[in-house]
Amino acid sequence: MLVSLRGLRRTFREGDRLRTVLNGLDIEIKQGERVALLGRSGCGKSTLLNLISGIDQADAGEIVIDGLNLTGMSEYERTLFRRRHIGFVYQFFNLIPTLTVEENLLLPLELNNLDKSAALELLSAVDLSDRRATFPDRLSGGEQQRVAIARALVHDPLLVLADEPTGNLDAETGRQMLQLLDRLVRKTGKTLFLVTHSEDAVRLADRVLTLENGRLTESTLKAD
């Protein structure tokens, strides 16, 4: 099992009260699985991604990825783990505006002392080789998300986390981005955990989960 979450609990203080977002949550994700996570706004989906990636810490429970227990790591150790083993795709792209397309892709490789040839290969895979010297503000939203998808995969991560990756795109561009993400994840055998409201994303998933009242359940919304 690549990812195991056991008894995960996370609360936040709101004024003089505590709000429980995740309450004894359990999940297991296999290597190569594509899992879609549904749930209403504010239910804790992004919080769960932040816990899995080690950005945030749980109040209780365990997060084990590839046999390593993140809950026992220091913040520095979690940062190093995330840098090497997690790939992110965000709703608002999160490209570094002062770096070119190619430099954005090179950054994860430089941080991990990896071969930089993967950047050019992935630029070709997302059909942006001719925009390698372009800055993000000169790209369309769809082009920026293609760069973000390539960046998430360039350092060969164990796990790809996507937080509403089509939320800032029109419907047709969103479908194209999902197809691209699905194709590259399948090709590289990566594990994908995807937070979404998109029915197109649900159709691509192997499993669909719903987060409600701090718990995860298998969803019946998956399309045939």
pTM across the whole model: 0.91
Q: Which pLDDT score, from 0 to 100, does residue 82 have?
A: 94
Domain ranges of the chain: 30-59+73-218
Instruction: Give, in degrees to the nearest 5, the angle at Cα 180 between 138 and 90.
Output: 60
194 strand-pairing partners: 36, 162
In whole angstroms, what separates CA 23 from the centre of its chain?
22
Cα distances (angstroms) measured from residue 163 to each of 45, 77, 178, 208, 220: 8, 23, 12, 15, 21
Please report, for the chain, how many H helices and E strands are present, in that order: 7, 10
User: Looking up tokens 């960046």, which residue turns up?
Assistant: 151
3-state secondary structure string, 54-108? Answer: CCCCCCEEEEEECCEEHHHCCHHHHHHHHHHHEEEEECCCCCCCCCCHHHHHHHH
User: Looking up tokens 């390698």, which residue turns up?
Assistant: 132
Q: Which pLDDT score, from 0 to 100, does residue 221 have?
A: 46
Closest Cα partner for 3 from 64, 72, 77?
Answer: 64
Distance CA 18, CA 13 (A): 4
Q: Which pLDDT score, from 0 to 100, does residue 211 have?
A: 93
pLDDT in tens, 159-181: 999 998 888 888 888 888 889 99
Question: Which residue positions in the chain have pLDDT lower than 50?
Answer: 221-224
DSSP helix/strand/coil, 175: helix
pLDDT in tens, 67-105: 999 988 999 999 999 999 999 998 888 999 999 999 999
CATH topology of domain 30-59+73-218: Rossmann fold (3.40.50)
Following DSSP, what letter does each residue of 26-61 receive, concatenated? EEEE-TT-EEEEE--TTSSHHHHHHHHHTSS--SEE
